Amino acid sequence: MASAPIMLNSIPISVMAKGSHLARLASTSANDKVLILIQMHGGNDGLNTIIPVDQYAEYYNLRPNIAIPDNGPRKYIHLDSSLPIENQVGIHPDMESIKELYDRARVSIVQGISYENANGSHFRSRDVMFMGGSFDDYFDSGWMGRYLDHEFPGYPEAYPSPSMPDPLAIEFGSNISLAFHRPIGIPTAVSIPANENFFDLEQSISGLPPDSIDDTHYGDELRYILDMEEKTFQYGDRLRSVYQAGGNASVEYPTTYPFNAPPGRQTSSFYQQLKIIAQLLAGGCKTKIFLTKIGGFDTHADQVTQFDSTMGNHAALLYFISTAVQAFQKDLQARGLEEQVLTMTLTEFGRRAASNGSFGTDHGNAAPMLIFGKNVNPGVIGSAPDLTNLNYGNLTMQYDYRQVYASVVKDWFEADDSAIQASRFGDWIDNRLPIIGNGITATKESFIKDRFHLKNCYPNPVKDFTTISFMINRESDVLLRIIDIKGREVKRIDAVVKHAGEQSIRVDLTGLKPGTYIYEINSGTFKESKKLIKL
């Protein structure tokens, strides 16, 4: 008999799977890595999230009533001018926080995620991606449940344990997704509400003295359920303890959209889920996977406002995700946890390339995936979608979603072959995507250096005029200074860079005395200096 989820305070609690690979991972190795999933519920419009720069005319023609402009104060943000022009993209103007993370080598974007013969149903597409199968598979378990089940043998009877005192996985909301189900028995996650009193769970089954339960098959089942309920309270007490031990965040999380927004979109509580996770981890929580959710992406109508395509429901949702993730990364960094956390978005499908007459988009196919963390391989994987080669109005798939999840299991969680086979990603390992970096600081520095650097001025030595050149990967205010050997500023040039890429500024040095100087650039967090000799 399959046990139903235990209900606490009307919230089903699915306790970790018996062999959950997360449990074994925590108990048998020093691997403390954590995965955070952000479910963009409803099907995110990837084409207004990640905009193909080199095909802007085609993009605009497909969706003139909702297209993000390429000029003006609310134009798209040019993500990376160092990419080949055919792969360059813009991001929604309310994703400035993602741009900041990208420039610090904390973001990987994977283009065109889907699966073959994708189903346009919300429920079926979610099930396919959660179960880790193909369009014609009907597994009764999910890839995370199978993986956790393998890594944490003996659940639920052997847990909580000294080596794994916490839930193997936590899902925010009122139910447990298929992703956490295991082949037999209770799923491998606990569901909690997204508020600071998440651990105050009330008992849903009246306490029964053991001697009042019949010694029958049904009595055995009831005793099992009561045992599981007791474990749930143990988890509740444990989560309360580690949450309080984590201490308050020193980072401010966003709560309000700063621009015009439709009713119900001025504020969001999404940030609370990430804030809770950071505090739990800071308090010593060993949970391996967290599933967070933000709804509203089924934008058939009113995706944008009729008078401004950069405003509306979709804009506010992208703002809340972007700013919450940025605050989360800062919070993790402040708590010394940034190395151990990988965060990624998922959505059941993208939207169609062409907009509809209701200022919205209908169910589509492929969509981009955003991956965040200190140990990602930063950059863009895949090409900008070809808008002249649509598949019945849909963007063409470039990568199967399992190529990403196989990388998570193999390269992030460092799973062995048996765990990979248990998750059913064995056939995808050799074709997995390089989303996880090697964690070497020099690699990150190289990524940043390629996009932000000061070049040698020419001529140098200089008699009267020299040209200072630099590369900057964003529109920005720039300050150039000439400093003498005593540290005194002798010349200052304030400039506004209106286009990302290589820039040059001609500098008049005729009034300076001969000698050695330093020329320095400051732009946001980018600062670099070099030596200059005046003849």
Q: Residue 216: which pLDDT band, with cuts at 50, 70 and 90?
A: low
The answer to whether 448 and 104 are in contact (CB under 8 A) is yes
- When pLDDT is averaged across residues 342-351 and rounded to a whole number, the result is 98
10 Å CB burial of residue 389 (0-12, 13-18, 19+) is: exposed
pLDDT tens for each residue of 451-473: 999 999 999 999 999 999 999 99
Q: Residue 225: which pLDDT band, with cuts at 50, 70 and 90?
A: low
pLDDT at 77 over 90: yes
pLDDT tens for each residue of 466-507: 999 999 998 889 999 999 999 999 999 998 887 889 999 999
- When pLDDT is averaged across residues 123-151 and rounded to a whole number, the result is 96
What does the pLDDT read at residue 223? Answer: 56
Task: Reduce the DSSP state of residue 257 to 3 states and report it.
Answer: coil
The answer to whether 233 and 225 are in contact (CB under 8 A) is no
Give the closest residue to 157 by CA, choosing from 230, 211, 214, 242: 230
Question: What 8-state DSSP symbol labels residue 283?
Answer: T
Question: Quick check: bond before 69 cis, omega within 30?
Answer: no
The more confident residue out of 365 and 203 is 365
10 Å CB burial of residue 306 (0-12, 13-18, 19+) is: exposed
Give the rounded distance of the alpha carbon of 161 from its chain centre: 30
pLDDT tens for each residue of 94-130: 999 999 999 999 999 999 999 999 999 999 999 999 9
The answer to whether 349 and 288 are in contact (CB under 8 A) is no
- When pLDDT is averaged across residues 19-37 and rounded to a whole number, the result is 59
- When pLDDT is averaged across residues 414-422 and rounded to a whole number, the result is 94
What does the pLDDT read at residue 184? Answer: 84
pLDDT at 209 over 60: no
Q: Residue 151: which pLDDT band, with cuts at 50, 70 and 90?
A: very high
pLDDT tens for each residue of 32-62: 999 999 999 999 999 999 999 999 999 999 9
pLDDT at 242 over 90: yes
What does the pLDDT read at residue 502? Answer: 92
- When pLDDT is averaged across residues 383-401 and rounded to a whole number, the result is 96
- When pLDDT is averaged across residues 16-32 and rounded to a whole number, the result is 43
- Name the one residue in this structure whose structure tokens are 């926080």: 97
pLDDT tens for each residue of 513-529: 999 999 999 998 899 99
Quote the mean pLDDT of the chain.
Answer: 89
Looking at the DSSP bridge assignments, the partners of residue 192 are 172
The answer to whether 521 and 479 are in contact (CB under 8 A) is yes
pLDDT tens for each residue of 174-192: 889 999 998 887 888 888 8
Cα separation, 430 vs 443, in Å, equals 23
DSSP-derived pairing of the beta strands 489-497 and 476-484: antiparallel
What does the pLDDT read at residue 15? Answer: 36
What does the pLDDT read at residue 18? Answer: 33
State phi, psi for 293 to the nearest 5 degrees. -140, 145
Q: Which domains does the chain have, with CATH numbers?
A: 6-445 (3.40.720), 452-534 (2.60.40.2550)
Q: How many CA atoms lie within 13 A of 423 on its CB side?
A: 32
Q: Residue 220: which pLDDT band, with cuts at 50, 70 and 90?
A: low
